[in-house]
Amino acid sequence: MELVLAGHPSNNISADLGISQRTVENHRASIMERTGSKSLPALARLALAAAGNGAEGTTLQGYGQASR
C-alpha cells in the first residue's frame, strides 16, 4: 500500500515484492473496492484520514485475508 500511495507503478512494485504485476493490480483493485475508493487520490485521502485518526501503524493488510 505504501508503494502504491508513493506513486510507484505496478511493474516496479511487483519486481520489488517478487510477485506478478497482475497480482499487484488485483490487490489494488480489491482494496479500492472494499474501501469504496473510486480513484487513487481518493484512496490516498482515506489512508491519510485513517492515519490522522490515531490509526498510525494500522495497515490494510487484513483486507482479503478471509478468502485465503
**d(C-alpha 64, C-alpha 68), whole Å:** 7
**d(C-alpha 37, C-alpha 20), whole Å:** 23
Q: What is the pLDDT of residue 63?
A: 41
Return the higher-pLDDT residue of 12 and 62.
12
How far does CA 37 lie from the centroid of its chain? 11
Q: Mind listing the pLDDT tens digit for each residue in 5-61?
A: 888 999 999 999 999 999 999 999 999 999 999 998 998 899 888 888 765 554 554
pTM over 0.75: no
Q: What is the pLDDT of residue 55?
A: 55
Number of helices (H) and strands (E), helices first, in the chain?
4, 0
Residue 54 near residue 45, CB atoms below 8 Å: no
Place of cell 483486507: 63
